[in-house]
Amino acid sequence: MPHSDPDPRSDAHETPDSCGFLSQFGKSEDSTEWHSPAPVGYQRGRTKFVVVIGTVMSGLGKGIFASSLAKLIKDKGLSVAPIKMEGYLNIDSGTLNPYRHGEVFVLADGCETDMDLGTYERILNQELTRKNFVTAGQIYTEVLERERRGGYLGRDVQMIPHVTGIVKMRLRELAMTGNNGKQTDVVFVEVGGTAGDYENGFYIEALRELAFEEGPESTCFVALTYILEPSILGEQKSKAAQLGIKRLMEAGVQPHIVACRAKNPVTDKVMEKIAMFSNVPLKRIFSMHDRESVYAIPEEMRAAGLDREILTLLDLHDRTSPAKEDIARATWLDFSRKIYATKKHRVELALTGKYAALRDAYASIDKAIEHCSIALNCEIRTRWIDTSDLTDDSLTAKALDGVSAVIVPGGFGQRGVEGKIRCVKWARTNKVPFLGICLGFQMAVIEYGRNVLGLAGANSTEFEPNCAHPLIAELPNQKKLEGIMGATMRLGGQEVALESGSLSSFLYGGKTEMRERFRHRFEVEPAYVAQLQAAGLRFSGRHPKYPIMQMLELPQSLHPYFTGGQFHPELTSRPLAPNPMFMGLIAAAIASREPEFAATDVGRRWVRGASKPVRA
């Protein structure tokens, strides 16, 4: 009898092997060409997919668009889970140079990811995991390791169906468990790069297959494109956008929605052209032009009706909760209105790092500052200073003159380190509010050792292995301490025990323990801790079990606000919940210029010594 291909959407076509992966390949080498893997118990069509693919050029803000749209759907009471699919062969983003790819964003589970994951966490106020991030390197590694184990039963392993099969499996696994262990209503997929790139072609093909296999009303494709506006012509041109969308359609993907990035609002004429050449109704063409704030985009999407179009395309109207949407919308509108309000306070802040020429290298710090600006009704002007240029104290003083707060951020490598130490010294001796982050925390320890304890030659073994006083070092038994992340890196969320009555405890609402995210290898050398503390430097945050210093501060008698964390507090800052260490820094900076601020309700919460701490 002739062989009849099974329907890939049929529940009977589930995976028979223990991994829930190999589909029907276990029957015989040539039994079928269908390869539609899914986890055991997966219900096809239950989870919907929104796929955002770029055209024309990269860097248009796919993450901002996808996260804003996901927020609208989440506000309606549905569960959402984003996933970023990168085309590069790296296993993760941990080894990428910030100049090449912006900051490395670290998730709570220790996964080092693209900076877009930070956008999703901030907009959705949702903690993500390694399930929300995939690279071509991960996909190819999984395929090749499976092949070496004999997992394909003699088949020749190919891009289609095996590589695309892994992609579909990853998406369905995320759909099954989401970020809360339950099947997700909508998975938002962001494909890195642009349509037509070699490296992401297999993702687009896998998503085309996924839409077919999941069935009607299962998948919504969004094309994010770019509208040119050459100054010499004085008008918008849509041809590049048309050709970019055409490349996507040539790959078998018909977009349902088109978002048009542009400097100015996209004209009706241009949107009509886009609609005509993309087969997308005009009501589903969205002008994603430059706004004063990205936080305004969700409400403008709602006004344009994009959320309703998504619900219609995916047949999700019956899962929504108008009551939840009303509450979420009111909360967000209250927040977003504060963005445009006239600011009562003004602060100039110095961000002193080695990647100051590229703001994306400190994207999360920039956002954490922005969150504080809105919460404290304060205009914050950030002065970006490259510490590689600060070769002596006079240059440092000139660069920092007039600032009300100093941040020394993290980083790897020796370049710019001495300049960072000079910035710490300037902030400490001039009693200017200071925050040291990760490497900045370590620089504060070294500066104190050199200039207060008089330890000539104090340094980190990262930069000078045989220095006279290794205040910062890779601890000999570090690998044994709770199996700290892989080799010697500490990555992801870790507990921090806070000393009662300290500035650290005050900032975190009087708590004696909190959790922040780490990404570092070197620690404060325990042999020097007692000596440093005797000289006034207080280690107010420590590992709950081991002699690992995680926060430092100076008493108020020595400095109004001098603190640092071995972790990255910027990674947990959210629009509606700014990180406490940043709030304390900016509040201290305001109080240094406006002493009466400390007596306000907000001041009493964030300025140490103003009064008894008041919970936010």
Residues 329 and 351 in one domain: no
467 catalytic, yes or no? no
Amino acid at 65: F
Largest Cα separation within the chain, whole Å, is 90
Backbone angles phi, psi at 186, to 5 degrees: -140, 125
> Residue 613 domain-assigned?
no
Condensed to tens digits (0 to 9), the pLDDT of residues 243-276 reads 999 999 999 999 999 999 999 999 999 999 999 9
What pLDDT is attached to residue 488?
Answer: 65
Residues 235 and 367 in one domain: no
Mean pLDDT of the chain: 89
Residue 581 pLDDT more than 90? yes
260 catalytic, yes or no? no
Nearest-angstrom CA–CA distance, 77 and 324 = 6
Q: Which residues pair with 408 in a beta bridge?
A: 436
The CB-side HSE value for 479 (13 A sphere, CA atoms) comes to 4
> Residue 16 domain-assigned?
no
The total of structural domains in the chain comes to: 2
Mean pLDDT of 483-490: 56
Instruction: Indicate the residue among 304, 333, 362 that finishes a domain.
Output: 333
Picking from 240, 267, 242, the residue whose alpha carbon sits closest to that of residue 255 is 242
Nearest-angstrom CA–CA distance, 128 and 111 = 10
Residues 386 and 275 in one domain: no
Residue 584 pLDDT more than 60? yes
Residues 233 and 145 in one domain: yes
> Residue 31 domain-assigned?
no
Residues 194 and 312 in one domain: yes
Residues 323 and 379 in one domain: no
Locate tokens 């305004």: which residue? 296
What pTM, to 2 d.p., does this model score? 0.90
Kindly report whether the peptide bond that precedes residue 161 is cis, defined as omega within 30 degrees of 0.
Answer: yes
Residues 349 and 325 in one domain: no
Instruction: Indicate the residue among 333, 368, 394 that finishes a domain.
Output: 333
Residues 278 and 404 in one domain: no
> Residue 38 domain-assigned?
no
- Quick one: which H or E segment has residue 220? strand 219-226
Residues 390 and 410 in one domain: yes
Residue 9 pLDDT more than 50? no
- Quick one: which H or E segment has residue 113? strand 112-113
438 catalytic, yes or no? yes
Q: Does residue 424 contact residue 387 with C-beta atoms inside 8 Å?
A: no
Task: Print the domain residue range for 223.
Answer: 47-333
Catalytic residue (one of 112, 205, 462, 570): 570
What pLDDT is attached to residue 192?
Answer: 93
Catalytic residue (one of 438, 462, 523, 553): 438
Cα of 353 vs its chain's centroid, Å: 19
CATH at residue 483: 3.40.50.880
Picking from 171, 136, 155, 219, the residue whose alpha carbon sits closest to that of residue 36 is 171
What pLDDT is attached to residue 154?
Answer: 79
Instruction: Indicate the residue among 280, 313, 333 that finishes a domain.
Output: 333
Residues 272 and 387 in one domain: no
